[in-house]
Structure 1
Amino acid sequence: MNPTNSVTGAKLPFDTAVSIWVEIIDRRGCIGRDTMQVTRLRPPEIHLSSTNLNGTAKAMFCPSQPFTIYDSLYSAAANATYSWKVDNYSIAHASYTLDTALLHNKNGYSFTLTKTDSLGCTNFMNKKITISPEPAANFLVPNAICQGVRVNITNASEPKNNSAGANDIIKTYQWIFNHYDTAWVKQNSVKSGQVNDFESSPLMEGNIYEGFSNIFNQLGINTLKLVTVNGSECTDTLTKTFYLNPAVTAQIDTTAQMDACLGDTSLFAVGPGTSVGDSMHYTWYMEGKSLLTDSVTINHLFSSAKVHQVVLMAKSDSGCYHYDTTIAVVNPNPKASFANMPVCFKETASFISDNPATQYTWDFGNGQRTETTDNYTQKVQYAQPDTFEVSLKLTNKHGCTDSILKPVIVFPLPDPLFTLNQDTACLNAQPQWFNPPARQNGYSYQWRFGDNTTSELHTPAKTYNAAKDYEVILQVTSHLGCHNQDTNRITVKALSNARLNLNGTTFCEKDQVLAGLNSGMATGIHSVTWVFGSDTAWQDANINAVHAFATPGLTTIQAIVLNNLGCTDTTRREIDVKPLPRISILTDTATCFGTNHLFNIITTPTTGNIRDYHWNFGEPTSGNNNTSTMQSPWHRYQSTGTYTVALKTSSNAGCEFMTDTTIRVYALPNEDLPDTARPAWPR
């Protein structure tokens, strides 16, 4: 038993009479009871359903889609009454069905229907209706659509990815071109592929999810409609019109210049297939630059040698355009260069190209030209000193050329002409003087005398020591480094090569010196000048001479020989002329018979040392007494008469001197003789 003061009938069966009794016991223990008959009535049945206008049951609807919500268990016989609440707000509507207006709450609505039957029993039911957002149909069409040109139609419809609810995502795109009955319908689950064009059934390519591309061919105004349907079958439609312009064609004239050399202007022209007219404009793209022109030709100077891409865009005022592409080959030019070293007159100037080519054209500035296919050294001798403009033109295998012009200086040669003060000379004669041109600042002079001797003096003197012909060369070098030389010949004539022969080297005064020349002389003798010290000199053709020196001392004998070549040769010898032991006999010139007679001598200052004396008294009959070696001897004559007394002295040098005197020997006085018979004694 339930000890409460109330009881519910939830557990009572429907439509069955049930007796319910109640017993009450108070605090005193007193009990009271009661019984009643109860029947539990069944509540009215209710079920909310929702359908669209087509009667399709749905619980999700589009904002622009009316729908009906109703009690699907409605029975007119039940005679029930109804009341509605939308999102807990009561509405004045008592029918079992509710037709909604256009609802736009994207979060949906909560509907509550309360049903009351004729017995007063009630029941209610809640139903959630979701409002799905409509898709936003959108697509982008280019401003200019041209015939025959594939056009990209960009699908910009939203939503088309999983950032929205699953039923919000667009599931179907329907494209309708120019109100054709058939449309291109593509499910979003297929992201890419190929479908047939609805216009004229060419192949249309694209990604239905992103858009598509198509080639339109119907000129003029066209329409394109897009119908989008999402998972809730909500739709949106967008229609756009566009104008299909005539096609434009670009064609580059390939007969124009497509092969050029760097630095040459290239001419480009549109080809015969290019669209032309006042509405056409042409843009050329070369070397990263766009060159806009309304002309059908254009000149361009390329900045580098390589294969360049050339693009022509032909564009009409309607925005239609077309491209054509070709290549232009810009060949490199050769690099003309050569060394232009100055040269001296009469030297060979050499030229060679610094860089290779297939053809070399030279102009040497003197009227001389040459053209070769080989790069070998060109040698040129210029006819006079000057500055010549030399040009070189190179041509490479592409026919491209490059030229260069350089001055080449031909320096004049220095003046080397010189003269001799004579063209013949005698051996060992006085120096030969050479007379060169006037000295120039910075010039150098190099003499070669023909005997392996040289000089760098401007005006040298030269003595030759061998008789022959010599070639004298003077080379003059200018301050510019140019050389020039002159040559003269000089004949050096031989000397007689005479040698002086004497009959001695030491002589005494008055001795005869015999001088003679050797017989093996190199040349014939024209004359000989004999010089004997300071005594005398004479000239004759005799190679022998005799001379006696009157003065003692050292002296020189010279023979100056003039040969038949006109050359003078001197040979000399030094001799010592010793003094004679000169003395004078000092004695009386008369003596008496039978007396001793004294002989003395007197010497001169140049006598020298007398080594010995040899006296001869002129009296052979006196035997050994006739001579004496004493310096001052005595002699007694044996008979009267006149005697010649001779004295020979010898010096230490071996020189001898002889002197004599006469002495008269008188008889002793005789008394018987008359005075007239007596000899007179000298007094």
Structure 2
Amino acid sequence: MCSGTNSTTLTLSDYVGTIQDWESSTSASGPWTSLSHTGSSLAVTDLTATTYYRAIVANGVCSSDYSSIATVTVSPSTVGGTVSGATTLCASDNTDYTLSLSGHTGDVIRWERSLTGSDQWITIDETSTTLTYSDLQETSWFRAIVQSGVCEEVASSSAQIQIDAESDGGQLSGSQEVCSGTNSTTLTLSDYVGTIQDWESSTSAFGPWTSLSHAGSSLAVTDLTATTYYRAIVANGVCSSDYSSIATVTVSPSTDAGVLTGAVAVCEGTNAGTVNLTGYVGNIVRWEYSLTGKQPWAPIHQQTAALDYNDLNATTWYRAVVQSGVCEQVISNSVKITVDPPTVAGVINGTSEVCTAINSGALTLNDYVGSILKWQQSEDETTWTDLSNTTSQLNFENLTTTTFYRVQVQSGTCELAHSEGFQVIVNPLPQVIFESAEVCEGTVTSFTNTTTVGASYAWDFGDGESSTLASPRHQYKEFGVYTVKLTATSASGCVDSLSKTVKVNPIPTARFSHEDVCFGNDVDFSDLSVVAEGSIASYSWDFGDGEGSTNSNVSHRYIEDGTYEVSLNITTKKGCADNIARTVRVFPLPETAFTFKEVCHGNATQFSNDSYITSGSLTYLWDFGDGETATVVNPAHTFEASGDYFVSLKATSAEGCVTSQQQQVAVYEQPQAQFTFESICHDQEAKFINTSIGEGLSYLWDLGDGLTSEEESPTHSYQSPGLYHVTLSVVNADGCESEQTQVIRVSPLPQVNFNMDDVCLGEKVSFVNNSSISTGSVDYEWNFGDGNLSNDINPQHEYTSDGEYAVTITGTSDQGCVSSVTKVVTVYPLPEPAYSVESVCDGTPSQFVDKSSINKGTIEEYLWDFGDQTNSILANPVKQYLNHGSYDVNLRLKSDKGCVASGSGTAVVHEFPVAKFSVVNVCDGFAVKPNNESFISEGLLTYSWDFGDGEESAAESPTHLYATDGDYEITLTARSAEGCTDVYSNVVQVYATPEVSAGQDTSISKGYSVQLHGSGGVDYSWYPLDGLNNSNIPNPIATPMETTSYEVTVSDQYGCQNSDTVLVMVNDDFKIVANNVFTPDGNGQNDAWVIENVEAFGDVNVRVYDRYGSLVFQEKAYDNDWAGTYGNDILPDGTYFYVITFSESDQKYQGALTIIRNN
């Protein structure tokens, strides 16, 4: 049974007696265990191990007896186990590989294979725990089927053998021809098997090749400047990589049209010359010319670099058209052959007569051909002076004498010529002179004309008016300055003019202002006269009382009141005058007087008004000198306080004329007791300030604590804090009394104290305030001794530097009482961490050099945190970092006072470069191309290669050609920018070229075969394929129809190739062999007459005769298909005779032929 859930029944038979018990044991030899069962059958279940059973039987008094032993064999549960050895292989890999089963329970009864890993498992007749396989062409899954005894079969885990198809580089398309420079094309890889690993390019179809680090199926190629070859590298899975076919991008150099020279100017008629093209790239396609330098251009079918021209009659431009390969045609610069027409000097036209001095004119040269070289002038047409003017127009000005002009002209390279002279006549100008006088507004201005050489006149008076009189008179409507212009014209039409300014002065406006006054006051006369231009020169005042003045602004006091007529006359500096008159009034003044009697404070004072005026009425205003007023005629007034008061009476007339009188009024004083003081603290004296009011006073103080004083302002010290009632009594010389009582407070002092602990710099000092006061509250001010203050009760303070500080606490009570105390706190200095560490390469220890210091005391402890979860307590530790990088290093210091400070820095461990490369073994004659796989995560590497044959290179990915085959150790040294280096070595094999042989030259008859004998390789390839039965075996059968040289190329086990040739000469000797018996009975064997090698000769003529000489068969180009018939009739068995001839040879075959049929 299988272990676990199981059951069976054991039955005892053929026994004599009574069953006493059953027993069981795991061993046939015991020990045995009682099962306490007396039945004839025993049910057994869920056994996990093989068990033995027996029954005990006793009959009567006879001794008991044991039954035979029954065995229940228990197999352990089947465990399928695990198959190891899963891998990936290339389809071409024919190596034997083994799968192994482990961890199973039971026996392997078979192995199975599946192409899906899930179904269709195929049985493999193998029962061992290993399975060997080879030459798999499809991905397969393998498993073992295990069975333990009678337990169920269980499958093991499956192992996948992944089979990758052989790599196929595929076909590369997109070859084309492009132009150097800006170009583009796309190469596409198709029909490849595997994954594209890279693309390579080379400027030679034979290498060396450069990686392009590209893995796409298409490659965009741009901006090539040289013909370039491309191939792709394809690898499928674990299979070796394969190269694609080569695509070629042929690059034509960019067309350069070069430089065309030879531009020149020639004269129309007889001329000749050459233009030359130099520095061009490509071929000259044609020349072109144009008569405008623009389209159209006409072709000249000439391809040489020099182009001749002659006898040109018009200006002509030439250019060349150049093209390089497939590049665009490029047009060169154009050169201009300027053809100049014959010189024509032309004719001068223009101004022929001018007036002298200020004049101008323009001369124009017309109908000329060529370029103006210069103008010339002369006063006698004999001596000519050059003028710097090369335009067709000459402007002249300010001529004073008659002058002749001519022009010098030249057309290009043709001879120069002069135009005819042109005369410009110069006439004299009139001399314009006139005078006029300056006038006031409204007066006529007279003009006196003394012009010479004048024939007619034109006056412009500057106000829109004019005249043609010789000496006119003109009145201006407004004052101002006018510009007068006189223009005179001579008989010859010459004109001159003269402009002058004429002044018309404005009339002034007389005005003044004043105010009517009360008698005794001055009347102020303010001049308001104005003049539009200029200034007033004189004034004349008449005040109407026989008095006057010549000032502009005056004051005048009249000796009597009344009404007066005042006039003002003014005159400007230019003599223009005006006047004005106005009325002035002077009012009479009132007479003011009053009387009174003096009283004591508290009684009313009675005032009597004695004022009057000569005419009109009066109003009154009393001012009592205490801020009070009244407007009644005779008032009574009570003063609020004693003292002397200045009382005034003001009388005002109806015209506002005012007079006043002031007198002193006395009100006797009533004394007033009063004093001031300030509440004090217990440690202070009270100061009482007597501010009582009154004269000749005496004093008595009650100080509230049982003591008195007669001082005017006493001081007093109280024995204890508290409130005290203080009274001041005063008396004056008249016996008047007054008293005042006030309360003074004597406040207690605060009792201040504090404590604190010394600290390290950077820590806060905590101050504990132990102050108190008996009554009231206290405000505190702390002075920390470093310029900082605080009003907190229990402040904390952090000092910015170490040292000893005197700290003072000042307590101020709510009554302003102050006390203070000072103590010293010590701030210990912090150690100042500092260190240096040099950058190292990965693998080199970092040396930390301590440079820490402390102002006072000593540094007792060091703790380094190296930034990689390691630390040290040494002062100058050495640290070996496990990885490269920048590490944040922290140094923690502790002083003898327990003060701690930390400082951070960076330790740099430069990455150690990894030098690595792979290299593919090569055949002799091929360059080794190591694939540089060195790397560093940051920065650049430099390289040094030692190829093991004395040659070296510093290239990143060099190539190297060894002189001989053999094994060479290549060593690569990679160096980082920081100087860290790594060295890696690898051995490359340069395989010897295989020694190939194609065998000895031989000869055969046409149509016959010969076996070739190739040797020296593993793989063979024969060429040409014509006549070979198999071109890929060492010894193919060759049946050439003509003499052929066969080349065999062999590859050894490393893929190295070599080739050799063998010559098979074919003799055209018409050799054939005719069979003499055939059996055309339709059984498929020997049913046709065969002539060996007859198919080699298309001109063969075959004839067959019977024994009577009759022709029974004839055929040209016989094809071994005659079945012994004559037309549609079957020939009887027997002997026949054949004759075989050739149209191109005298060779002849004849013999007997037997036909035998088996039916």
TM-score normalized by structure 2? 0.26
TM-score normalized by structure 1? 0.41
Name which structure has the greater RCO, CA cutoff 8 Å, separation 6+.
1
